[in-house]
Chains A and B, each alone.
Chain A
C-alpha cells in the first residue's frame, strides 16, 4: 500500500517538475489572467515549485514511516 502511494507521489513529483522544466511551460506564457495578484506566467513558475515542496513532504512522510 505504502509502496504504491510512494510510487504515485513520485510520478506526481516528476509531472510537477515537467510543468516548468519542459516545453509544457510555454502554455503558461501569458500576462493575463492575474492570479493572486501576479501575472499568470509568474504564478505558474511559483505554483509548481510549491507543489514540489508539498509532494516532497508527503513522500518523505511515507518514506520515513517505512
Chain B
C-alpha cells in the first residue's frame, strides 16, 4: 500500500506541475499562441532546456534495458557515457548556428530548415516522414515500460493496462492544455525525481551491501571480473563499442523532438550552456545505473529477468517505501520521454504534413486545434499499440538510429557546405537509410563489426558529396546564395 501511495502522490504531482503553465496562461488571459504551444515562444531558459533534453534522452530503456545490459554484458555498455557526451558536443557546436538561423527564419521543425535551405518540400517531407515513423515505436516502447514498471512495482495491484492508461492520460492532459512549456516543466520535475531516486537507491544498496562503492568493485573483481572489461561474457567487439558511441552520439539530437529543443532555447549563449550541461548529465544520469547493475550482478547472480535487478536489490536492502521511490524514478524516466515524443509527433504531423499537403491557408488557431487533435489521436493509437505490443514495432525501433542519424551529414552540409545540392541531399539520405537496412537484414551482417547505422552514415556522406559535385547548376547556386544572403542580411540587421 505504501508503494502505491508514493507512486500515486508522484503521478498527481507530475500532473500538477504540468498544468501550472496552462493555468498561469489562463489567469493572465493570454491565449495560447501556436509559437508558445510548439516552441515556448523560443524563450525557454537554460534550466528548462537542460532538464527537458536530459529527461527526454534518458528513458525507461536506461532504467530497465541498460541495467539488464550491464548485468549480462558488463562494462561494454559504458559506450553510453561517450555517446551522450558526443550528443552534448553536437548540441554545443551545431546548436548556436541552428538557433541563429531558426530565429531569423522562424522555423518550427527540422523539416522547415531542410525545405528552406534546398527549396525542396520533398526533402522536408522525407525528413519529417522518417521522424514520424520512428517516433511511434519509440512512444509505444516507453509506454510499455511505464505499464510494466507500475505492474511490477505494485506486485500486480495496478495491472499493465491500467498503468498504461494512467500514464498516458496524465501526459495527454498536460500536453493538450500547456504545450511545450508544460512538457519542459514536467521534465524538470521528472528529471529531479529520476536522479534523486536512482542515486538514493544505489548509494543505499552500495553501503548496506558492501560498505562503500570501492568495496563493491573490489568484490566484483573477485566474483564477476569478466564484467569489468571488454569483450565481456558476450564477446562484444571494439568495433561495436566505438561505432555505437558515434552513431548514437551523432544521431541523438537529430531526433525531431530533440532538434526542436534548439529552436526553443532563449539565446545562443544558453544553447552553449545547455550543451556543456548535457555532457555533464551523461555522467550523473548513467553512473548510478552502472553501479546498481554491477551490485546486482554480485549480490543476485542468478536473476532470470535482469530488467528488474534494481527492484530486487531494493527489496533485499532497503525499506519498503524505497520501492515506491524507485518506482517513481522509473516512471519519471518513461513519462519524461513520452511527453516530448507525443508533443513533437503532433507538431510534425500538423505543421509538416497537414498544413503543407492540404495547402489550406489555415490560420494559426486552426493549426493549433489540429495539433491538439493529432496529439489525442496519437495517444489513443499509442495506448492500443502498447496493449497489443505488435512485434513489428520492435523491428522498426531497432532501425531508428539508422534513420535519424542520416540527418547528421545533411545538417553539417546544410550549415557549412555551400556546394551541397538538393539532389545530393536527397540521394544521401535515401542511400544512407537503404545501406543501414541492407546491413541489418541483408546477407552481410555488420562488416568489420561496425554497426549498420554507421555504414549508412558513411554511405550517405559519400553520396551527398559526389552527387552534389555532379549536380552543380544555376538553380542550386541561386538557392544557396539566397539562403546564405538572407542569413548575412540577418546578421547585419542583428549587429545594428
Contacts and interface: CB of A to CB of B under 8 A. Distances in A.
Interface stretch (B81-89, B381-389, B409-417): B81-89
A11 interface: no
Interface string B427-471: 000000000000000000000000000000000000000000000
B269 interface: yes
B21 to A, nearest CB: 28
A63 interface: yes
| Interface band, chain A | 20 to 34
A21 B249 contact: yes
Nearest to A32: B221
Interface in A17-66: 17, 20-23, 25-26, 29-31, 34, 36-39, 41-42, 45-46, 48-50, 52-53, 56-57, 59-60, 63-64
A21 B86 contact: yes
A23 to B, nearest CB: 6
Given A39-B221, A45-B79, 20 more contacts: A17-B86, A20-B81, A20-B82, A21-B249, A30-B229, A31-B229, A37-B217, A38-B217, A39-B220, A41-B78, A45-B81, A46-B81, A49-B81, A49-B282, A50-B283, A52-B279, A56-B89, A56-B275, A56-B279, A59-B92
B299 interface: no
Interface in B209-257: 212-214, 217-218, 220-221, 225, 228-230, 238, 241-242, 245-246, 249
Contacts of B241: 25
Contact of B221 (A20, A21, A31, A57): A31
Contacts of A53: 85, 88, 276, 279-280, 283
B410 to A, nearest CB: 21
B217 A56 contact: no
A60 B140 CA distance: 37
Contact of B89 (A36, A42, A52, A64): A52
Which residue, B79, B218, B246, B283, has most C-beta atoms of chain A within 10 A? Answer: B283
- The secondary structure that dominates the B interface is helix
Interface of A: 13, 17, 20-23, 25-26, 29-31, 34, 36-39, 41-42, 45-46, 48-50, 52-53, 56-57, 59-60, 63-64
Contacts of B245: 20-21
A13 B78 CA distance: 19
Contacts of A48: 82, 85
Interface of B: 75, 78-79, 81-82, 84-86, 88-89, 92, 96, 212-214, 217-218, 220-221, 225, 228-230, 238, 241-242, 245-246, 249, 269, 272-273, 275-276, 279-280, 282-283, 287, 290
A25 B242 contact: yes
7 contacts: A17-B82, A31-B229, A39-B75, A45-B79, A56-B272, A59-B92, A60-B92
A38 B78 contact: no
Nearest to A16: B85
Contacts of B287: 46
B238 A25 contact: yes
A21 B88 CA distance: 14
Contacts of A63: 96, 272
Given A25-B238, A42-B78, A49 B85 contact: yes
A65 B81 CA distance: 29
A52 B217 contact: no
Contacts of B275: 56, 60
B85 A38 contact: no
A34 B89 CA distance: 29
B238 A23 contact: yes
B229 A41 contact: yes
B290 A42 contact: yes
A7 to B, nearest CB: 13
A25 B213 CA distance: 24
Given A23-B242, A39-B229, A42-B75, A52 B88 contact: yes
B212 A37 contact: yes
A17 B276 contact: no
Which residue, A48, A53, A56, has most C-beta atoms of chain B within 10 A? Answer: A56
Contacts of B229: 29-31, 39, 41
Contacts of B269: 60, 64
Which residue, B85, B225, B230, B282, has most C-beta atoms of chain A within 10 A? Answer: B85
A34 B217 contact: yes
Nearest to B271: A60
